[in-house]
Amino acid sequence: MNRIGTETINEIFTALDRQIEVHKGVPLNLVVCGGTALAALGLMTRTTRDVDVLGTVSETKSGLIIHRITNFPQWLTEAASKVGRDFDLPKNWLNLGPASQIDSGLPEGFEKRLIKRQYGSYLTVYFISRLDQIHFKLYAAVDRDDYHVQDLMALMPTENEIELASKWAVTQDVSEIFRLILKDFLEIHGYEAIAQRI
């Protein structure tokens, strides 16, 4: 199986655009986070197994609105399957793994920071910003010692960014246990002053 990286992202999304047309789909705006967004925006040079889709987005006069979806339309599933076969990608390389985050709540100003890339007539991808990656990565990294921690540190967050992300994270899990684990994480990684303020 191949992995998705900086050098293949454009090719894969362009192929998906073509397959959406072939499968009689309609123009689609996807919000993408995770490793694919990090690589696409040049924030990190690492590969990933999949494309994490947060939801769809509509453009209105008052700004962008993000919508949660529970399933991809059939034509998109078929288009993604064909691209997956062509590029030897994992079966569910295009997935809605993080979609529930929309219900839990997104960082303030999230929509305004999305970065738009168009891959043809049918597919537009809105990648989440570096600041929002820091929010998501901190929340994911707190009680783990894996690639989320590595990604977070590779983004070289400032103290202000870590504080913003910490204040958001405690709205996602309001338990006292989580707050204590977050404080420990911050102290271990040199953010003692922030740990005292949350």
Q: Do residue 138 and residue 106 come from a single domain?
A: no
Model confidence over 46-87: pLDDT tens digits? 899 999 999 999 999 999 999 999 999 999 999 999 999 999
Give how many domains the chain has, as a whole number. Answer: 2
Both tokens of residue 143? 């009680």
- Which token pair is 176? 């006292």
Domain boundary among 128, 144, 161: 128
Residues 29 and 103 in one domain: yes
For residue 144, the model assigns a pLDDT of: 81
Q: Residues 135, 110: one domain?
A: no
CB 116 within 8 A of CB 4: no
Q: Rounded to an integer, what distance in angstroms lies between the CA atom of residue 55 and that of residue 70?
A: 9
Burial of 14 (0-12, 13-18, 19+ CB in 10 A): middle
C-alpha angle with apex 103: 187 to 131, nearest 5 degrees?
Answer: 45
Q: What is the pLDDT of residue 99?
A: 96
CA 186/CA 112 separation, integer angstroms: 28
69 and 119 together in one domain: yes
The CA angle 48-66-156, to the nearest 5 degrees, is 45
75 and 124 assigned to the same domain: yes
One domain, residues 108 and 193 = no
Domain of 178, in residue numbers: 131-197
User: In the listed set 128, 153, 174, which residue is the last one of a domain according to the structure?
Assistant: 128
Report which of 75, 73, 74, 29 is spatially closest to residue 53, judged by C-alpha positions: 29
Do 71 and 152 lie in a common domain?
no
Could you tell me if 118 and 46 lie in one domain?
Answer: yes
Query: Are residues 111 and 156 both part of a single domain?
Result: no
pTM score? 0.95
Report the percentage of the chain scoring pLDDT > 90: 93
Q: Are residues 66 and 79 in the same domain?
A: yes
Name the domain boundary from 128, 146, 176: 128
